[in-house]
Amino acid sequence: MYKAIVIGTSYGGPDALKIILPRLSIGFPVPVIIVLHIGDHSNEVFIDYMNSICPLEVKEAESNEKIREGFIYFAPPNYHLLIESDFTFSLTTDQKHNFSRPSIDILFESAAWAYSQSLIGVVLTGANSDGAAGLKMIRDFGGMAIIQNPCSAISPAMPRAALKIARPEVRLRLEEIPDKLIELVGFNKKNSEMF
Amino acid sequence: MVDSLYNESNADLLNIEIKLLMEGVFLRYGYDFRNYSKAHIKRRVLHRLGISTLSSVSRLQDLVLRDREFFIEFLDDLSINVTEMFRDPEFFKSLREKIIPKLKTYPYFKIWVAGCSTGEEVYSLSILLKEEGLLERCQIYATDFSRKVLEIAKEGVYQKNIIEQFETNYRLSGGKGKLSDYYKSRYGSVIFEKELTNKIVFADHNLVTDTVFADVNLILCRNVLIYFEKSLQDKVIGLFCESLVPSGILCLGTKESIKFSMYEKLFEIIDEKSRIFKKRIG
């Protein structure tokens, strides 16, 4: 079964995430870990806003923090975010990758090592090719690769690059992505309400 | 390329080989990366493998253990030397506003910049101290485990194309003049004034394997602890605690904390956001 979802996006990302993340409800059984290229400044305001519209708790990933299911984590601006094999976070100030820090590839590759085939990778709207190599690795490791259909993306370059390099099995319009994620992780709202 | 050598089917083997490599590096050369973030080390090792013709980490280990020159090169792979002047301008602003007034009450004080890398941070500090009229009253120790970066730090020569970013940071940090007051341009480089290094001693020191430093009043160690696992972070914070005089100041990176460390209670928070802490008395 899938144990984690990683998402990468840049230009148009905040709007795309506003459509996906609020649809994940309490009891969602896996963590959602996100790299959003948002510039070098604090993303506190954005995280506060996401918290106000999401049922799940949204927070910035911290160094050595244990990854918990049902949480939505964002990489801090100006740091790369990596996942350790004991399912904790690491941060680095290593060089920019694809002109980006945080880099989607770096998150995705470390996530593939940690979660192997139990991982879902999602590449959304964006203006460069970061995430394509990472998504390919997720797929090579037996995980599930999803992209936002480039035709429906505000900026199609990123999902298009991912399409070309990773050959993902699933291409969806933005609005279809939440239901797909819910289905893949086997989240049944009725079940969770019984608890 | 790398992905053909290692994949999900031999991920465990890779972890074993990296563990043996780090053990070997420690036994052979005394550099201890055994409690560094494993994901970071894996990324760097695979990067080195990817740009070489070596077919496995075990082959890399053979070379690292037998060829000292190659090891020095490999050491560069494992350390991160990406830094800027006045990185996190808010931190330098806070340092200027909250800590400098206190230092002004001392006739003489010592500062330790731990993990100084290529020197950008220690030059930033020198400039700040000069502007506050304190440079003559202090002794700065700038340390790193890499002799190569210490040589670069001593030179104080940086690429011209990144100076614009440094200028912006300097301005945002509350700098009193222009950054160009402190350097000369030459060809594609900028050279910082020698005067800024008069009070700096550059020294080879390894936070993981070396011991405490002399009684210091202020420690800057920013974006070093993030590379360490929890146990090693604790050990190094303990080292800082021992090195500081009572009421001494510890400055960490903006994503680093003494929270959850066993030494948490020995410090009070001066600036939560900029991660400035004060060692309690007694």
Cβ contact A148:A19 at 8 Å: no
Q: Do A93 and B40 touch (CB under 8 A)?
A: no
Q: What is the pLDDT of residue A35?
A: 98
Find the closest chain A residue to B90 by CA distance: A41
A97 catalytic? Reply is: no
Predicted confidence (pLDDT) per residue in B160-212, tens digit = 999 999 999 999 999 999 999 999 999 889 999 999 999 999 999 999 999 88
Nearest CA distance, A7 vs chain B (angstrom)? 19
Give the pLDDT band (50/70/90) at residue B82: confident
Statement: B89-279 belongs to CATH 2.60.410.10? no
Cβ contact B276:B88 at 8 Å: no
Alpha carbons A88 and A99: distance in angstroms, whole number: 25
Q: Do B8 and A79 touch (CB under 8 A)?
A: no
Predicted confidence (pLDDT) per residue in B5-24, tens digit = 899 899 999 999 999 999 99
Alpha carbons B260 and B258: distance in angstroms, whole number: 6
Predicted confidence (pLDDT) per residue in B107-137, tens digit = 999 999 999 999 999 999 999 999 999 999 9
Instruction: Please measure the distance between the N-terminal and C-terminal CA atoms of chain B and give it in whole angstroms.
Output: 56
Q: What is the pLDDT of residue A195?
A: 44
A10 catalytic? Reply is: yes
Give the pLDDT band (50/70/90) at residue B2: very low
A41 catalytic? Reply is: no
Q: Do A63 and B225 touch (CB under 8 A)?
A: yes
| Cα–Cα separations (whole angstroms), residue A133 to A165, B3, B57, B159, B213 | 7, 11, 22, 30, 44
Q: What is the pLDDT of residue A189?
A: 60
Which residues of chain A does B91 touch, with a Cβ-Cβ cutoff of 8 Å?
none
Predicted confidence (pLDDT) per residue in A15-53, tens digit = 999 999 999 999 999 999 999 998 777 789 999 999 999
Residue B69 DSSP SS3? helix
Q: What is the pLDDT of residue B1?
A: 42
ipTM of model: 0.92
Q: Which of A85, A112, A137 sits opposite B38 (nearest CB)?
A: A85
Which residues of chain B does A6 touch, with a Cβ-Cβ cutoff of 8 Å?
none
Catalytic residue among A63, A130, A152, A155: A130
Domains and CATH numbers, chain A: 4-194 (3.40.50.180)
As a whole number, mean pLDDT of residues B71-76 equals 93
Low-confidence spans in chain A with pLDDT less than 50: 194-195
Q: Which of B227, B214, B231, B221 is nearest to B252 (CA)?
A: B221
